[in-house]
Structure 1
Amino acid sequence: MRPRVTVRWRRRAGRWRRAGCATLIAGAVALPLSGAARPEIPAPVPAALAAPTAATLEEAYAANRANAARASRMAADHGDRHRAAADRAMADRSRHLLAFDGRGAGLATEVFGDLAHADRVAVLVPGSDTGLDTYGRFRAAALALHRQLLAEAPAGTRTAVVAWLGYETPGTVSTAVATTGRADRAAPGLRDLVGDLRRITGPGSRLALLCHSYGSVVCARAAAGLDVSDIALVGSPGTGADTAAGLHSEARIWAGRGADDWVEHVPHVSAGLFGTTVGFGTDPVSPAFGARVFDAGDGGHSDYFDTGSPSLTNLARIALGVPPEVTHD
């Protein structure tokens, strides 16, 4: 295919994809809600551990790796080679798992860097379609962020990234992705994580939540009174709050969206339906929301953590407490 034709095709496909996503969300407002079934893959119950401290981190990492190894064997016995391989990778001695649960779609909390001694910690919260079977792409984002933090950090600053897959994410093609239900159930777990991190790192550390896509809804539902310095909403469909002040957080609230992100076309509506809230209200990058808007570059919905991108650079700066290169109040 000739280059000019390829470019036209990609642009056309992008418009179809954006229109399709907008139609899905709009349809979810009018249609009855139903949850998509997730595969039930046998796995052991999570390791029973006391609340982690700096002194017990290595013990927690080892226990969760052992649990992942058992989950891998059970998945293999069940005939699911893909999940068995994913769990086996988690069990590698190089992995630092603060939590692991191989049941169902799977949950995991992974640490990059020396968390016990970190004074700048970025917590990465993923969006839809993230589970153990797709964990590689989420991990790649966390690794890229950690490398950027190391590159941007002032001399003597110690950094860590916590990749928190601590909730059952909705499917992109599902009505659940248009409601706050999953986020409401996930918020207590995120609040617990922040409490654990405060216990591990001490009161002098700086914690930032970097929340992608539906993960921004989770962060918003957990935000009230949360002991973090910054909350960055990236590629967000909305938060369920009308304004940044409506999050009831003392943290600085940031928002960024790439120029080619289809989420721009998601209808910014919010309504009560069948006992839940459908849609997420005000666009977080709009002046009406009142967040600090940072430059997220020209990328699409999955490009925010690409190496060398303006979005990755600015997210690292937010986590470090350094002003992003381009901001608008």
Structure 2
Amino acid sequence: MRFRWWRATVLTAVAVFALVYVAGLTRLGEAEADQLHAVPVLAADPAGELDALRSAAPVPGDDPAAALETALADPETAAALVASEPTADSGELGAALAELHDAGGDLDPLEVNDFFTGLGDDATAWLALLYPSTVAEMPGAPFDARIAANRLILEATTAASTTYDSPSRPWTDDAERPAREELQALVGTDRQFLYLDPYNNNGDGSWIEVVGDLHTAENVAVLVPGGSAVLSSENFELYYNRAKSFVDAADGKLAIVVWAAASWPSGWVEESWASWSQVAAESLASFTFDLRNQIGADTPLTLAGHSYGGAVIGYAETYDVAADQVLHIASAGMGNDVYSPADYTEPCRPRYSITGPGDPISYVQGMPYVPLLGHGADPDDFPGNRNLVTGNLSDAPDAVDDYGLSLADQGISGKPVEGVHSHSEIFFPHSDAWNNILKVLLNETPELADEQPEPYEPCS
């Protein structure tokens, strides 16, 4: 008997569902199996060993900042440094670094920071130059060192992208391969990356970027992007532009860390699965303690997530999180299986939500619980949340969207932030919604919507 076409379709859909479900369980199992690796303690002064490492390095001089610029000017030198890895037989310092490198990120960031603090700023700067692949993505390593190391990784990876094997091209005699466009655009800029992995997400990349000055900012926020947050997507530049619009308007009072340091879903099918957000959330929660430790205890820290990013920050709150307040921006939900503030480690942490009327995200907010599907409660109805006014777009003659395009030319100047496009319009500079988001990030009083969720009585 032949299967009817619809039976084959159903069976295929069930098979895909089962495979993705099992993949999600595997992803969670891998995350839960991780154990923190002990951070080694140096018994001797590493100054002599460090001098020997420096003398053997392909960059001369006594100033690590000058040596970094020399290396950046020569792609071959940058590539040689990026390929360097510490070895256990190179002395106590080298063995300690090799142990940290082999831990693969399963480290207590506070203990790692203490390790580098004990070495001193100059020694740490040299290690970021000599072993950039070790320092660049190590949780707890000083941010300045990670930014320097990632500059080398960017330079080396961009150059390497021109040499990858590629299919023959009979239509041209020029067989040279152009550099990866999204990487080439960053070379020589002042962009600051705490993490930059061009190969994660099946070669589409992942990142953590600082926008603003973490040393001087009076307020700091972590912004977690929505779906398709990979280097090769337009969302990479888009979330930089969005963060920069707030930072520029705050005139030095704000720095934002755009956090996309995980495997990231793309498209509504993948984004509906909770496993992606659950794995990312655990990593994000750990990062907040690294960030808190390096900016200081007195700097207000906001955790913000847009769209799918809201699901990530929501689930992150089921772990311990070093954040003073949380902001859901057109958020997919409060986190898988989160339906009450009691599901969080800190039920009474201040939380805000802002969603435009008619935003299609509302169709997935608050979906009933299904294991590994959906993202928990609707942020706009969540007990204790404070809903913000979305209002209207700016009607100023020079108002632009988050791509820098004129609102007047698009015929949307001053229109209400509502409907299908409100999912992005919520970020258009100097709109009422944008102003309200900025006020939360600066710990100022935002304009609240008329309709508010019920208070959460234990926190009243």
Normalised by the length of structure 1, the TM-score is 0.77
Q: Which of 42, 55, 64 is the matching residue for 2:150?
A: 64
Structure 2 counterpart of 1:113, which letter? G
Q: 1:307 and 1:166, CA in 2 relative to 1: closer, same or farther beyond 3 A?
A: same
Structure 2 counterpart of 1:291, which letter? N
1:252 aligns with: 350
SS in 2 for 1:209: strand
Please tell me the root mean square deviation across aligned C-alpha atoms, in Å: 2.8
Q: Which of 293, 302, 310 is the matching residue for 1:216?
A: 310
Q: Which of 80, 93, 97 is the matching residue for 2:193?
A: 97
- Following the alignment from structure 1 to structure 2, what is the Cα–Cα distance between the partners of residues 305 and 256? 11
Pairwise mapping of residues 44-83 of structure 1 onto structure 2 (< 5 A)? 47-49=133-135, 51-52=139-140, 56-78=142-164
1:310 aligns with: 432
- Following the alignment from structure 1 to structure 2, what is the Cα–Cα distance between the partners of residues 51 and 279? 29
Deviation at 1:270, TM superposition (A): 3.4
Q: Which of 145, 149, 154 is the matching residue for 2:246?
A: 145
Deviation at 1:33, TM superposition (A): 5.5
Structure 1 counterpart of 2:423, which letter? H
Structure ranking higher in strand proportion: 1
- Following the alignment from structure 2 to structure 1, what is the Cα–Cα distance between the partners of residues 222 and 247? 11
1:164 aligns with: 259
2:221 aligns with: 122
SS in 2 for 1:69: helix
| CA contact 1:61–1:97 (8 Å) conserved in 2 | yes
Deviation at 1:181, TM superposition (A): 0.2
SS in 2 for 1:296: coil
Unaligned runs of 5+ in 2: 1-12, 24-78, 84-131, 167-176, 392-416, 454-460
Structure ranking higher on relative contact order (CA contacts 8 Å, 6+ apart)? 1
- Following the alignment from structure 1 to structure 2, what is the Cα–Cα distance between the partners of residues 149 and 248? 31
1:112 aligns with: 211
- Following the alignment from structure 2 to structure 1, what is the Cα–Cα distance between the partners of residues 340 and 436? 22
SS in 1 for 2:423: coil
Structure 1 counterpart of 2:239, which letter? F
Structure 1 counterpart of 2:181, which letter? A
Alpha-carbon displacement from aligned partner over 1:160-217 (angstroms, at most 9, x marks no partner): 111111122211242x211210111111221222112112111111100110011111
Alpha-carbon displacement from aligned partner over 1:65-88 (angstroms, at most 9, x marks no partner): 110122212223237978712112
Structure 1 counterpart of 2:207, which letter? A
2:369 aligns with: 271
- Following the alignment from structure 1 to structure 2, what is the Cα–Cα distance between the partners of residues 312 and 82? 38
1:238 aligns with: 333
- Following the alignment from structure 1 to structure 2, what is the Cα–Cα distance between the partners of residues 280 and 221? 8
Q: 1:138 and 1:186, CA in 2 relative to 1: closer, same or farther beyond 3 A?
A: same
SS in 1 for 2:328: strand
| CA contact 1:82–1:133 (8 Å) conserved in 2 | no
Q: Percent same amino acid among aligned pairs?
A: 24
- Following the alignment from structure 1 to structure 2, what is the Cα–Cα distance between the partners of residues 164 and 92? 22
| CA contact 2:159–2:179 (8 Å) conserved in 1 | no
SS in 1 for 2:372: strand
- Following the alignment from structure 1 to structure 2, what is the Cα–Cα distance between the partners of residues 51 and 282? 31
| CA contact 1:244–1:291 (8 Å) conserved in 2 | no
The alignment of Structure 1 onto Structure 2 pairs a total of residues equal to 283
Structure 2 counterpart of 1:111, which letter? V
SS in 1 for 2:162: helix
1:324 aligns with: 446
- Following the alignment from structure 1 to structure 2, what is the Cα–Cα distance between the partners of residues 145 and 76? 35
1:201 aligns with: 295
Alpha-carbon displacement from aligned partner over 1:52-99 (angstroms, at most 9, x marks no partner): 56xx43332121011012221222323797871211233334111111
SS in 1 for 2:290: helix
Deviation at 1:247, TM superposition (A): 2.7
- Following the alignment from structure 1 to structure 2, what is the Cα–Cα distance between the partners of residues 33 and 258? 35
- Following the alignment from structure 1 to structure 2, what is the Cα–Cα distance between the partners of residues 265 and 93? 40
Q: Which of 311, 324, 327 is the matching residue for 1:229?
A: 324
- Residues 1:262 and 2:360 are matched in the alignment: yes
Unaligned runs of 5+ in 1: 1-26, 36-42, 151-156
- Following the alignment from structure 1 to structure 2, what is the Cα–Cα distance between the partners of residues 61 and 316? 26
- Following the alignment from structure 1 to structure 2, what is the Cα–Cα distance between the partners of residues 289 and 33? 35
SS in 2 for 1:71: helix
214-223 vs 244-253, which moves further:
244-253
SS in 1 for 2:188: coil
| CA contact 1:230–1:319 (8 Å) conserved in 2 | no
**Structure having the higher Rg:** 2
Q: 1:87 and 1:280, CA in 2 relative to 1: closer, same or farther beyond 3 A?
A: same
1:16 aligns with: none
Q: 1:222 and 1:281, CA in 2 relative to 1: closer, same or farther beyond 3 A?
A: closer
Q: 1:266 and 1:222, CA in 2 relative to 1: closer, same or farther beyond 3 A?
A: closer
Q: 1:177 and 1:201, CA in 2 relative to 1: closer, same or farther beyond 3 A?
A: same
Alpha-carbon displacement from aligned partner over 1:308-329 (angstroms, at most 9, x marks no partner): 1222211111111111122446
209-218 vs 115-124, which moves further:
115-124
Q: 1:251 and 1:148, CA in 2 relative to 1: closer, same or farther beyond 3 A?
A: farther
Deviation at 1:267, TM superposition (A): 6.2
